[in-house]
Chains A and B, each alone.
Chain A
């Protein structure tokens, strides 16, 4: 088996504020292979976005700092690189697509200038070959009348078109890893379906690995090969999408899947998850989900759960799963 493209090992990113230390990411580990899509799901504040920012070393400093762990891309540790070396990684080997294309595109520059900037910096192209590469990037994302679009500004495009343009910029230097942080949240349902299909097509053509951040389990089910569920700065369950949906091992995952209204069934009351997500500056010593967990055991409140293998590649951190007979990892 080929070695993984990306290895994240015990990554910790903390924010140092007057209120105390916020453990936004507190020991996150996962791997990702070329051509694979991993979905990161969780509620706001669970650490999905900070994990992504840490991978490209864009955590807002000085409050935020990566305080531990390793991030290996093709075996090279990104956390040890100098800022100049990181600039050569960003955009070229790792690219990002953000939630709102309205704010991620520059309103004062034409689409052509914005694609050209990336290609010029990373590939050193100029003139006609630069233009040709920009056109190719737009056409790959199915943008009609690409020549005209090069001279246009973001306000002349629709929402779906803007997100395709920012994806075209991201894919223009053929990155190995694409981080898509809630790419469809600002899009309409029918446009969302179009965009996700297109992203899959581009992945099949280029073999790019994708980290897809989302809180929508429908998107996970339709697009991800594997899924990692985050809660309070940690991954509480990770596994293939089918395994996690068929046999969710962590009570949090189970509760999340049960509390969603299903479009295909009209039921009685929805199952609720009581309580609120925890305060990250004052995390309990045990499992952070314990106060909201219906299957809580005494041990959960004192000790952070060990990782247990549920199945091949399906891992959860939960004492309830341990008690149910899952073998420790």
Chain B
């Protein structure tokens, strides 16, 4: 349904005032090709600075790609006319991490939730109110919450309001940017269950950005692992967790702590830090931290290719 081909997003790095030639380019997303099919959940995992949020912004048209293209239902976004764009914006919605900053404290819930509805939605006032009440019920809130302000709700309820706002335009596709990381542990399960239930009932597709590998596993059907602006591995979620191919994925999964004190896992401890996005290492971007680095990793950039059925990775080991 949604497809990105060779997406790149570079931000100019300037010193002080943004005049003159930039000192360099921050390669936030550097050649990512990815697709999301109807009804599936693509989990995008990676550490901070790996480019996952920039990729989400590209999907939401909050940033325009420096290179590469985005296709929706077979049509390139660049070729979109006004009506296509409006339709895209209705079909693609977002839920952000922090429900304390993503809801305007001075707006009533009914206005927050109705805001994505286009001006000429053809609905009467009563029609809008009806739709708002309907989505509030969908996310497990009472219809009469519409008259309240965000501060009258707890963190978990606010995230439900944010989800209701995303649902109001009958979207096909929702970008979830760390949807539970700002919430309390006991509330996370409620929101994850709600998201899963909504997906089953409404046939939504999700892109879920997360650094919480356990939460990503719960929702995602397919997983994409990013490192330094590039994809290093994609595949069916269960297959990737059971047998990660790329050494970075292996290290990332092994660093996640098991939930029981007697469960000990073989831990691959990475040395060093995430590379500078302005000047990533030559060859494979992971080679300075990779326990399996070979001479060719320093010079040749590995190609992202299918190494097994449905399993893609960019690594010279395969």
Contact = CB atoms under 8 A, between A and B. Distances in A.
Interface in A183-232: 188-194, 197, 215-222
Interface in B223-265: 237-238, 241, 251-253, 255-263
B267 interface: yes
A269 to B, nearest CB: 5
B217 A261 contact: yes
Given A272-B189, A272-B193, A188 B261 contact: no
B120 interface: no
Interface in A282-309: none
Interface residues of B, number: 41
Nearest to B155: A44
B185 A215 contact: yes
Given A188-B211, A193-B269, 11 more contacts: A193-B267, A197-B269, A217-B185, A221-B261, A245-B260, A261-B217, A264-B263, A270-B192, A270-B218, A274-B190, A277-B184
A273 B186 contact: yes
Interface in B147-168: 154, 156-157
A329 interface: no
Nearest to A43: B184
A253 B156 CA distance: 20
Contacts of A216: 257
B186 A259 contact: yes
Contacts of A266: 217-218, 237-238, 241
A261 B213 CA distance: 9
Interface centre among B188, B217, B260 (most CB of A within 10 A): B260
B160 to A, nearest CB: 12
Given A158-B273, A269-B193, A189 B47 contact: yes
B154 A221 contact: no
Most buried by A among B186, B237, B256, B269: B186
Interface of A: 43-44, 158-161, 188-194, 197, 215-222, 241-242, 245, 255-257, 259-264, 266-267, 269-274, 276-277
Given A189-B256, A190-B47, A197-B269, A259 B218 contact: no
A43 B189 CA distance: 13
A183 B166 CA distance: 34
A277 B217 contact: no
Nearest to B276: A158
Contact of B255 (A158, A161, A189, A276): A189
B85 interface: no
Contacts of B237: 266
A188 B50 CA distance: 11
A259 B274 CA distance: 32
Contact of B259 (A194, A221, A273): A221
Contact of B261 (A160, A222, A256): A222
B252 A189 contact: yes
B259 A257 contact: yes
B278 interface: no
Contacts of A277: 154, 184, 186
Contacts of B238: 266
Nearest to B271: A194
B290 interface: no
B261 A263 contact: no
6 smallest beta-carbon distances between A and B, as pairs: A218-B257, A259-B189, A188-B47, A261-B218, A270-B189, A43-B184
Contacts of A271: 189
B107 interface: no
Question: B interface, by DSSP: helix, strand, loop or mixed?
Answer: helix
Given A188-B47, A255-B186, A261-B214, A245 B261 contact: yes
A160 B263 contact: no
A42 to B, nearest CB: 9
A261 B215 contact: yes
Contact of A262 (B193, B214, B262, B269): B214
Given A188-B274, A263-B214, A221 B184 contact: no
Given A43-B186, A44-B184, A193-B269, A222 B257 contact: yes
B299 interface: no
Q: Which residue of B211, B255, B262 has the most chain A CB atoms within 10 A of its CB atom?
A: B255
Contacts of A192: 255
A146 B20 CA distance: 37
Nearest to B264: A222
A277 B186 CA distance: 9
Contacts of B215: 261
A221 B260 contact: yes
B154 A276 contact: yes
Contacts of A264: 241, 258-259, 263
B270 interface: yes
Contacts of B89: none
A45 to B, nearest CB: 8
Interface in B267-313: 267, 269-270, 273-274
A260 B214 contact: yes
A53 B219 CA distance: 38
B196 interface: yes
B48 interface: yes
A227 to B, nearest CB: 9
B251 A269 contact: no
A287 to B, nearest CB: 16
A222 B260 CA distance: 8
A190 B271 CA distance: 9
A189 B213 contact: yes
Select the residue from A220, A242, A259 with max chain B CB neighbours within 10 A.
A259
Contacts of A188: 47-48, 211, 274
Contacts of A263: 213-214, 217, 241, 253, 256, 258-259
